[in-house]
Structure 1
Amino acid sequence: MNEFWTDILTFCQETTKRVGETLVKDFGKIQATRKEDGTLVTKADQWSDGEIRKSIYERFPEHGVLTEETTHIFPDNEWCWIVDPIDGTTNFTRGIPIWGISLGLLYKGTPVFGYVYFPQIQQSYYGYWYGESGLMGPIGAYCNGELIQTSLDSPSQNHLFNFCARSIDVLKNPFPCKVRLIGVASYNILLVASGAALGGVEATPKIWDLAAVWAILQAAGGVFISLSPEPMFPLNIGENYGQRSFPCLTLSRDDLVPVFKPLVDFLGKT
C-alpha cells in the first residue's frame, strides 16, 4: 500500500508542476468568460483540465474522474479523482498570485488524499485521511514536505478567520476574530490546516473546491462541519454535482464548533 501512495504523491507532484509551469506563462494575461453559474472560466482552465484528465487516464486507467470543466457525474469507480484545474480563476486573470491546482482522490465516494499546488507562490499542500475506509498508509498533512497542524489557540482579535465573498453577511454582528477574504476556497481552508487561521466559512463551494482540502484539513487535526442537512460524503454514484453547493465551516479543532457554528449556521439555509 505504501508503494501505491508513493505513486499517487509522485504523480500529483509531477503533473501539477508540469501544468503549473505552463499556466504561469498565462498568469494575468488571459481573458475570462462567465459561465451559467456566474463563475469565470478561461482557455487556461480548459487546457489544464484536459491535461490533468489525460494524465490520470494514462497513469491510472481504472480510476474515475470528475472535474470542474467537463464531467460532473460521479462515476461508478472505487477510486475517483476530483479536479479543480485552476482554483481562483478570478485571481489568476487579475494578476493576483494566489491560485492553485487541486486534486482530490476519493475511495468509495470519500476523499482519502488531497494535493493542492500554488505555482505562483511555490507552495504544495498534501495530506492523507483514511477515516473509516479501512485503508492504511502514510499519515499527516504537509506543506512543501514539512508537517503541518492546526492551531491550538483560542479566538481573539489577533487571530484570523477566513470568509468567502458570499458569507460576509455574518459580519453584521460582532465576530470574535479578524477576517480575511482571499478569494480561493482551497487556500482559505489550507490556512486553517497550516495553523495560520482558526477557521473559515464557505457559503457556496462546489465539490471540486473541497475534495482535496477535506482530506488535508482533517489530516492536520482540523474539522469540517456541513452547514446543510445533507452529508458531504460519500458522494452518490450517478449524481450530477455540477450545481450542488456544499456550505461548510472549517475549524482548527472540535471545541471551537460551539463558538463559531451559531454565527454562520444561517448560510446553510439560504
Structure 2
Amino acid sequence: MHKSDLPMLLTQTIEVVIRAGQLLIAEWARVNGPRGKGDKAIVDIEIERVLRQQLLGLFSCDFWGEETGHSLTGHSWCWVVDPNDGTSDFLKGLKGSAISVGLLHKQIPVLGVVYAPVTVEGSPDCIAWSEGLPDLLRNGQPVARKLTGLALSSSSYVMVSAAAIIKPEINRELCTPSSFVAMPSIAYRLAKVAAGDGVCGVSLYAVSAHDVVAGHALLRGAGGILLNENGESIYYLTEANMQTVSRRCFGGSEIACRTLVVRDWNRIFTADGSQA
C-alpha cells in the first residue's frame, strides 16, 4: 500500500461501512428493540465480523477490533474498528451511535470513516477523509471548513456525552461561552466537530483506540487535534496505548481543546460517576 492509494481505498471503505450500517438500521427497527443489554449488543459482533472480513479483503494488514480481538504483528498498517460506538445509548433507544473505521500507518491515523446510520436528524450521516484529500467528505460532498484558529464562542458548540442532559447547568458552565450538545458516541462527536458542527468533542471516560482513531483521522483532515486529559497529543505506539489511549479526550480546534482541557471537569462527577 502506498499513501497515494489512500483516496481509492477510502472510497471502497465507505462502501463497506455503509453496507454494514444496514445491519444497525435493521437492528434499530426490531419490533422488540435491539438485542443485548448494558454495553453489549449482539449486532456489534455481527457488524464487526463483516467489517473484519471485508476490510482485510480490501487491504490485508494488522487489525484492532473492539469485539473480535486484535492481530498486531508489527505491520506498519493497522485497521482500527468499532462496530457501534455508543452501544449503551443505542440499547437505551438513543439515536447517534456510529460505526467507526480508521486506518493507522506507523501509528498515525491516515484514513477514517464514521457513519451514523440512525440520527436525530433522520438521515444517515457518513463523514470520511484520508490523506491525499484536501477536504473531508460528508455524505459524498466535500466539506471545506477547517478548524484552524477557531475558539470557543457564543455561536459555537461543544459535543459532550448524552449523559450531560441530566446535568445541564454544570455542562453549560464548563463549555462557556459555547453551548453544549449532548449526544452518544465519541467517534461521532469528533466526526461532527471535524465536519463543522462544533469546535470540540469531549469524552470524560477512558477511551481505546477503536473509539477515536477514525475521528482522529477526520480531525487531522480538518486541521484539528486530539488531546488527552493532560493536554498532550494522543498516540498509538504500543498495545497498551491502543487499549487505553487516554482517560479523557478533547478533539477539535487547538484553541478550543487547550481551553477546555484545563477546566475542572471533575465537578461533573458525583458519587455515582454518572456522566461519561
Give the AA of the match of 2:12.
Answer: F
Question: What do the CA deviations read for 1:85-110 (whole angstroms, capped 9, x no partner)?
Answer: 01121343333331221110000122
**2:27 touches 2:43 (CA, 8 Å); kept in 1?**
yes
Q: Is the 8 A contact 2:160 2:181 kept in 1?
A: yes
What SS does the aligned partner of 2:262 have? helix
Cα RMSD of the aligned pairs, angstroms, is: 3.0
Runs (4 or more) in structure 1 with deviation over 6 Å come to 166-170
Give the TM-score of the pair, scaled to structure 1. Answer: 0.80
**Closer, same or farther: CA 112–265 of 1 in aligned 2, 3 Å:** farther
Percent identity reads: 24
Instruction: String of CA shifts for 1:102-132, please: whole Å, max 9, x gaps.
Output: 1100001221110111223322111124xxx
1:145 and 2:128 are equivalent in the alignment: no
Amino acid at match of 2:48: D
**Alignment TM-score, normalising by the size of structure 2:** 0.79
Cα displacement (A) at 1:13:
1.9
Is 10-19 or 225-234 further displaced after alignment? 225-234
Q: What residue in structure 1 maps to residue 270 of structure 2?
A: none
Gaps of at least 5 residues in structure 1 are 35-39, 130-136
Q: Which amino acid aligns with 1:90?
A: S
Corresponding letter in the other structure for 1:92: F
Structure 2 Cα separation of the partners of residues 96 and 119 of structure 1: 12
Equivalence for 2:152: 155
Q: Is structure 2 residue 91 aligned with structure 1 residue 93?
A: yes
The unaligned stretches of length 5 or more in structure 2 are 268-272
3-state DSSP of counterpart to 1:70: coil
Contact map agreement 1:123 1:144 (CA 8 A) in 2:
yes
Q: 1:26 corresponds to which residue?
A: 27
User: Judging changes above 3 Å, is the alpha-carbon distance between structure 1 residues 229 and 194 closer, same or farther for their aligned structure 2 residues?
Assistant: closer
In structure 2, distance between residues paired with 1:266 and 1:72? 33
CA 1:232–1:246: 2 relative to 1, 3 Å:
farther
Is the CA contact (8 Å cut-off) linking 1:68 and 1:242 kept in structure 2? no
The structural deviation recorded for 1:231 is 5.1
Matched letter for residue 161 of structure 1: V
Change (3 A) 1:208 1:66: same
Which residue pairs with 1:11 in the alignment?
12
- 1:240, 1:261 → 2: CA distance? 20
